[in-house]
Amino acid sequence: MRKLLLLAGVAMCWALPATAQSGLEGRVGKLEGEMRAVQRKVFPGGAGAIPSVEPQITGAPAPGRDIGSPATTPITDLTQRVSSLEQQVASMTGQIEQSQYRLRQLEEQFAAYRKEMDARLAGTAPISDTGGPAEGSGGPATSTPASRPETPARKPEAAAPAPGKDPARAKLVAAVEKPASGQADEDDYIYGYRLWQAKLYPEAAAQLKKVVAEYPKSRRASFAQNLLGRSYLDDGKPSLASIAFYDNYKKMPDGERAPESLYYLGQSLMKLNKPADACKVYGELADVYGAKIGAQMQADITRARTAAKCK
């Protein structure tokens, strides 16, 4: 009877480590699965290309043993593996969370900058100038350097005479030839351009507004909106010109004359004695259209930034 009890006790002693080992094996399997999932997120590349990650904190090297001494028990080995995996998962999870937090901060800062720029540009008023790119039927645009600010004082914009009421002016308008190529958007734009060339600015503005309204999908819409701003500038209406330039950039950013509109907006800010805002506009122009800006405009932007003392 005593022998049977002794054998039963020995069996129970052997069964306890086996049960503990089985529980640890489950923990190890779960942690190793989590570790592989984290590695896939940090090192994307598919299931066979996941690099191994060495533990950042490892246990102290095992002390030397004399020959014939017993080896480390399976439970001790599993415990060390669990501790190592837990440390790796915690470290990599913390790094991912930090990266995501920095990314959110950058996105919020960029959104705030965009909102500020929209608010600033919406309230600016361009200036009139006598030079700049020709708005003809096609070729690449050229631009004139930005002039230095004169005085911050602004004169009220005079109301333009109603087109067609002055017989002498009506005669000048009638002298402007209307194109008849058969392509409506092209003909209407060229007619507005010719009115602008003849310095008939109110009539040109009315014609160019018509082009933008009736042919919003035409490539000439960007040309017409930009030339509308130029017409207002040359007619001494900087506030209206500001709206026209800003709308061209915001509503048709891919249009062929969007860079020129942004450039003239920067010039207007210099005229209004707002060099800091002008520098932001020139920076926006370089960031958005850097690859599309020709050598002449690049030179003009450089001179304008120097005049504004941009950093």
Computed on alpha carbons and rounded to an integer, the radius of gyration of the chain in Å comes to 37
pTM: 0.50
CA 266 to centroid of chain Cα atoms:
19
Per residue of the chain (311 residues), give pLDDT as tens: 444 444 444 444 444 455 555 566 677 777 777 777 766 766 565 544 444 545 555 555 555 555 555 556 767 777 777 777 777 777 777 777 777 777 777 677 666 766 776 666 555 434 333 333 444 444 434 343 333 333 334 444 444 445 446 889 999 999 999 999 999 999 999 999 999 999 999 999 999 999 999 999 999 999 999 999 989 888 988 778 888 988 999 999 999 999 999 998 888 787 778 899 889 989 999 999 988 889 999 999 999 999 999 98
CB 230 within 8 A of CB 196: yes
Would you kindly state where each structural domain of the chain is located, as residue ranges?
121-146+162-308
CB 249 within 8 A of CB 89: no
Q: Which of 298, 154, 179, 181 is nearest to 236 (CA)?
A: 154
For residue 259 the two structure tokens come to 């860079």
Homologous superfamily of 121-146+162-308:
Tetratricopeptide repeat domain (1.25.40.10)
Distance CA 233, CA 249 (A): 17
Sign (positive/negative) of CA torsion 28, 30, 34, 37? positive
